[in-house]
Structure 1
Amino acid sequence: MKLRRVLADGRLELQVLNADGSWDSAPDSSALGGAVFAPDWELANAERHHEVSGTVLPFQPASFRDFMLYEKHAVDAARGLVSRFMPAAAPVASVFEKLTRKPFPPFKPKPLFYRQPIYYMSNHLSFVPSGTPVAFPAYSEALDYELEIGFVLRAPLRNAAPQEALDAIGAFVVVNDLSARDVQRAEMVTGLGPQKAKHFASSMSAVAVTADEVLPKIGGLTGSVVINGRTVSTVSSAGPQWQLGDMLAHASRDETLYPGELFATGTLPGGSGMETGSWLRPGDDLTLTIDGIGEITHTITR
């Protein structure tokens, strides 16, 4: 089941897609976490989003935890970071990898990545919907995208087993974890994780798809990154270090997770410009797609 929200007659309405392609009112919002914020605030926020994008978010996240599930993304992104920001070190890494046919050791995730799911918390209130123009932050010269699979809880969790955690997922969306890479590099060295590198904006597809349609194929989803009409990479959800139930079970250890909270897988391999060298520039038209879930589009501005 596909769900969206629209502005209609001065109110915010949840709709469901019919088999014939038409949309009808859907009074039950439980798959998206139900009512979390005050209705007046939700409406005002949706009106702001619609004014600049023509769309609204399918739900307003109550929080946002962004995981990193893919070793390949971590390795390829580290290689791309060195290539752009540490060019003197790039030949050393390249020679090592050619001789050993293994990733340069500093490119691999830290040991904790292999022992437990890892994540950071970002700014859930800076989410914008698909169609919103995205500007370079004034403090960055290296804006990047990250194509991810997101999902929202429909039920609370605490000390959950992996299957219980999966059963609490209500719906899936496409997530774009926008990143100021030059700023991120400096912030990560502090050991506190990204701050201004990430918190300025994230984005979400305008349509959500209920979990019953997505979970049976979660290990085989595909997608693409298209810039200015050209496909620069394709992605797949195959091969995560941890499964969705594992990541939610870990997040719920002695901590209550609530309906409406948003989680993401982290970047699918090939889903960022840092990995492929497809860095964003002002004037670019960006489209991020996860087949069977939806897409996000942005025009990049200065």
Structure 2
Amino acid sequence: MKLRRVTDGAALAVEIAAVDGWVDAAQALGAVSPALSPSDIAHLSSDIVALLGAPEDIRQQAAEAAAALAHAPSVTRRPVLPFAPRSFRDFMLYERHAIDAARGFVRRFLPGAWPVVRAYERVLGPPFPLLRPHRLWYRQPIYYMGNHLAFAGDGETIAIPSYTRALDYELELGFVLAHAILDATPAEAEAAIGGFVVINDFSARDVQRDEMRSGFGPQKSKHFRNAISGVVVSADEILPRWDALKGSVRINGHLVSEPCTTGPRWTLGEALAHVSRSERLTPGEVFATGTLPGGSGIETGRLLAPGDTVALAIEGVGTLSNRIASEDQGSP
């Protein structure tokens, strides 16, 4: 099931993807079961997370009803953020990204050390030992808490903060909880996932380096803005193959890289189970895998500049495109 949220300028509504377009979720839900009260239909048809958390038979019947309903094009509705995230935690599941990004940091910000790293790797092979993640990364899933209030939608303009000269993109697979968990097993944690999205975790790389060295983790380097795709794909379509999805990064229409979700250190269930230890997680909380290998400019050498349009995609999940502007030209 694919879902999106739209507005006519006054009210919000959820739509379900059908073969030939989008169908109002209220119509589809109204056709599925007499057991649904008008208040149930109103709630589920205005809240994607609630609909993802509805019983499987209700969701299945709604999808079938949407497919059977005639699509009525509407020019008055426009897509908006699919939901308001209740929190945002970003994992770092990929060792290859961590190493390649560290290599990119040395190349760009520590030019004096770069010849040493390059010579070592030429003679002894990669990676240079200090490029590997911290030893804690190998023992447990690690993550940082991002700014859940800073999400932009598909098509929105991203303003470059005044304090950075090294704005980067990061292609990540995101997922939202539809059920609460506490002290979950990996299987229980995985079953709580409601749907998947594409996330761009924008980063100010020149600021990030010093913040990470402070020991407190990312701050202004991350919290200014991130972006989320407008369509949510239900977990049943993605979970069975989440670690075998192909992606792409295009800047101004030119293909920059083709990342893939293969090779994570931890499964999504293991990562979520770790977070849920003595910590209750609730529906609407958003998580991301961390950058897919090759999914950032610090790895490829192509950072962002005003006037660029960065377009990210993950097969089966969706696309996410944002234009980059200087701070005085973009939306804050």
Q: TM-score, normalised by structure 1?
A: 0.91
Please name the residue that 1:83 is paired with. Answer: 107
Residues in 1 aligned to 2:9 and 2:319: alpha-carbon distance in whole angstroms? 26
Counterparts of 1:276 and 1:143, CA distance in 2: 13
Residues 31, 170 of structure 1: 8 Å contact kept: no
Which residue of 34, 37, 44 maps to 2:50? 34
| Percent pairwise identity | 56
- Counterparts of 1:27-176 in structure 2 under 5 Å? 27=41, 28=44, 32-34=48-50, 55-176=79-200
Q: CA deviation at 1:30?
A: 9.9
> Are 2:182 and 2:276, in contact at CA under 8 Å, matched by a contact in 1?
yes
When structure 1 is superposed on structure 2, of 59-68 and 3-12 the one drifting more is: 3-12
User: C-alpha displacement at 1:101, in angstroms?
Assistant: 1.0
Q: What's the offset of the Cα at 1:29?
A: 6.1
Contact 1:32 1:170 survives alignment (8 Å): no
Deviations 1:209-259 (A, max 9, x none): 000011111121011000011100001100000000000000000000001
Q: Does 1:185 align with 2:201?
A: no
Q: Name the structure 2 match of 1:219.
A: 243
Q: Distance in 2 between matches of 1:22 and 1:63?
A: 28
Please state how far the C-alpha of 1:173 moved relative to its aligned partner.
0.4
Letter of the aligned partner of 2:305 in structure 1?
A: R
**Alignment match of 1:287 (pick from 289, 306, 311):** 311
Corresponding residue for residue 207 of structure 1? 231
| Unmatched 5+ stretches in structure 1 | 36-53
1:32–1:152 contact (8 Å) kept in structure 2:
no
User: Given that residues 144 and 181 in structure 1 are in contact (C-alpha distance below 8 angstroms), is that contact kept between their aligned partners in structure 2?
Assistant: yes
Aligned partners of 1:33 and 1:261 also within 8 Å:
no
Alpha-carbon distance between aligned partners in 1 of 2:296 and 2:317, rounded to the nearest angstrom: 19
CA distance 1:136–1:188, change in 2 (3 Å): same
Task: Give, in whole Å, the separation in 2 of the partners of 1:134 and 1:205.
Answer: 14
TM-score, length-normalised on structure 2? 0.83
Residues 299 and 100 of structure 1: CA distance in aligned 2, closer, same or farther (over 3 Å): same
1:241 alignment partner in structure 2: 265
| Offset at residue 31 of structure 1 (A) | 8.5
List 4+ stretches of structure 1 deviating above 2 A: 19-35
Distance 1:160 1:30 in 2: 29
Flag structure 2 segments of 5+ consecutive residues without an equivalent: 27-40, 52-77, 327-332
Partner Cα separation in structure 2 for residue 178 and residue 242 of structure 1: 23
Q: Which residue of 2 aligns with 1:15?
A: 15
Tell me, in whole angstroms, the C-alpha distance in 1 between the residues paired with 2:241 and 2:297.
Answer: 26
Matched with 1:50 is none
Higher RCO, 1 vs 2 (CA within 8 Å, ≥6 residues apart): 1
Distance 1:30 1:103 in 2: 49
Report the residue type matching 1:90 in the other structure: W
Task: State the AA in 1 paired with 2:208.
Answer: Q
Change (3 A) 1:3 1:249: same
Match of 2:50, SS state, is: coil
Rounded to whole Å, the distance in 2 between the matches of 1:29 and 1:110 is 45
Structure 2 SS opposite 1:236:
coil
> Is residue 117–residue 247 contact of structure 1 (8 Å, CA) maintained in 2?
yes
* Alpha-carbon contact 2:47-2:83 (below 8 Å) kept: no
Which residue of structure 1 lines up, in the alignment, with residue 31 of structure 2?
Answer: none
Q: Which stretch has the larger CA shift, 127-136 or 60-69?
A: 127-136
Q: CA 1:180–1:29 in structure 2 vs 1: closer, same or farther (change >3 Å)?
A: farther
Is the CA contact 1:153–1:260 (under 8 Å) kept in the aligned structure 2?
A: yes
Counterpart amino acid of 2:3? L
Whole-angstrom CA distance in 1 between matches of 2:204 and 2:171: 15
Q: 1:18 touches 1:24 (CA, 8 Å); kept in 2?
A: no
Q: How many angstroms does 1:179 deviate by? A: 0.3
Paired residue type of 1:11: A
Q: What is the distance in 2 between the residues matched to 1:203 and 1:252?
A: 25
Query: Can you list the C-alpha shifts for 1:144-175, whole angstroms capped at 9, x where unaligned?
Result: 00000000000001000000011000000001
